Chain A
Amino acid sequence: MSKEVRLTPPLTAADVCALEIGDRVLVSGVIYTARDAAHRRLMDLLAAGQPLPVDLQGQILYYVGPSPARPGRVIGAAGPTTATRMDVYTPTLLRLGLKAMIGKGRRSPEVIAALKEYQAVYLGATGGAGALISQCIRQAEVVAFEDLGPEAIHRLVVEDLPTIVINDCAGRDLYDEGLRRYARTA
């Protein structure tokens, strides 16, 4: 039976191992954004033996490139982008202590295996619900790679951002589970 859980980073292995696919997770507190370009920069820094602009230990990364904020607003629309594009970088970041990612769409077998190995989870937010999700974001500031515009790493303060566990620490996949339950074969 799926449950509803509230999480605020930094997360421990015990926090994430208690989660199972289908659980609803309301995320609050500080999370960091990153898309393709930011991931590439993080990899470059690691390759050069340099420190990362944010310590990922116990943190949550949100795959998002928001639309511009209107004057007086915190942020524009801010729904998830497709996580699959980040797959090649993810195991490296999990090794550094990253505990959860928020995105939409399938993860690779390598990522699912790495979630098991490093004890972390992948959370799905509703793709295309950018206006709804923007209402959960209380603060936003750029903390690295400002030149990347919407792709810069932002530090967000969120309140009850609605997500669902897609891949858990046990190597399970909610998308596969959904197909098993609802597919009708001709």
Chain B
Amino acid sequence: MRDLHVSDIIAAVRQAAITANYVIGPDLLAAFRRGLAEEESASGREIFRQLIDNARIAETECVPLCQDCGLTVIFAEVGQEVHIVGGDFEAALQEGVRQGYQEGYLRKSVCHPLTRTNTGDNTPAVIHTEIVPGDRLKLWVVPKGGGSENMSRLFMLKPAQGWEGIKEAVVGTVREAGPNACPPYIVGVGIGGNFERAALLAKKSLLRELGSQNPDPDLAAREEELLKAINDLGIGPQGLGGRLTALGVHILLQPCHIASLPVAVNIQCHSSRHREVEL
């Protein structure tokens, strides 16, 4: 067993929440640069220019990339040889979020769903924990904006609808999102599992490096097919019309019940923020 003190976990989450909101990943920046070179529409190219500037200003001037600093999602992979000491694991994750949003001047965007009263510290974060082999703790801190989460959808298709049904669900979700969820998008698709698993797969697929190939060649080809169909919609950057509505489509898949075909589509806006830390 390896001891891991909660104070280290708190510090790591605090820092990851702040960095995620101020610094975009190199994969995303590269996609913006490609977009600037490839987009046919002049207003679309202007948007890519602005997004590249925005990333630079955020980092150098210490202003968050987007004022919607999101509801924080944390994926945790806990090695089964890790022994957490000094307090509760989940409480430590929440404390890290609380401190990060306070000290990082990040907007607190979490409220009671009925009274709409703000919780004041951006908690509770949504936490997904998996126990895995080994003696390390891996955390992904993922601030997710409301605008793009609102346009995400879950479909319980009939098995007979097959791939065509999945394709229509994915493309239809993007069509409906239109200009509203800050395109260019990254589209996370979860196929299979069950009702709640499909949604989780869709969200988790967004953690994959943008521009990387799906390790499964069949899924890689299907991602290409979906990306082309989405970009044929013509929505374009910010919905002003253009070739690049999405920068990537990511699929995660697992077996499902013989009677079902669950499909979830998680729309990720261009402000795709996530930080990975290993302790």
Contacts and interface: CB of A to CB of B under 8 A. Distances in A.
7 contacts: A65-B67, A104-B182, A105-B181, A174-B241, A175-B239, A178-B240, A179-B233
Interface residues of A, number: 46
Contacts of B271: 128
Contacts of B54: 126, 128-132
A184 B50 CA distance: 26
Contact of A128 (B65, B178, B236): B65
A79 interface: yes
A67 interface: yes
B53 A132 contact: yes
B243 A82 contact: no
Given A132-B57, A182-B235, 15 more contacts: A73-B63, A79-B68, A82-B150, A84-B180, A104-B180, A105-B178, A106-B179, A127-B147, A129-B53, A131-B57, A150-B67, A164-B240, A175-B179, A179-B241, A180-B241
B239 A134 contact: no
B233 A126 contact: no
Contacts of A134: 57, 61, 63
Interface of B: 40-41, 43, 47, 50-51, 53-55, 57-58, 61-69, 105-107, 116, 118, 145, 147, 150, 178-182, 229, 232-236, 238-243, 269-271
Contact of B58 (A65, A70, A78, A131): A131
Contact of B147 (A81, A162, A185): A81
B82 to A, nearest CB: 34
A179 B236 CA distance: 8
Contacts of A70: 62, 105
A77 B180 contact: no
A186 B168 CA distance: 13
Given A22-B43, A129-B54, A186 B64 contact: no
B9 to A, nearest CB: 25
Interface string A35-68: 0010000000000000000000000000011111
Contacts of A5: none
Contact of A183 (B51, B53, B58, B233): B233
A17 to B, nearest CB: 22
A29 B61 CA distance: 23
A130 B232 contact: no
A134 B66 CA distance: 10
A178 B239 contact: yes
A69 interface: yes
Interface string A98-116: 0000001110000000000
B235 A77 contact: no
Residue with the highest number of chain B CB atoms closer than 10 Å, among A135, A175, A177: A175
Contact of A178 (B58, B118, B147, B236): B236
A175 B235 CA distance: 8
Contacts of B58: 77, 130-131
A175 B150 CA distance: 19
A183 B178 CA distance: 12
Contact of A130 (B47, B66, B181, B241): B66
Given A76-B107, A177-B241, A179-B241, A184 B179 contact: no
Interface in A125-182: 126-132, 134-135, 149-150, 162, 164, 174-175, 177-182
A67 B106 contact: yes
A182 B41 contact: yes
Contacts of A97: none
B65 A131 contact: yes
A82 B61 contact: no
A67 B64 CA distance: 8
A88 B234 CA distance: 28
A183 B67 contact: no
B35 to A, nearest CB: 13
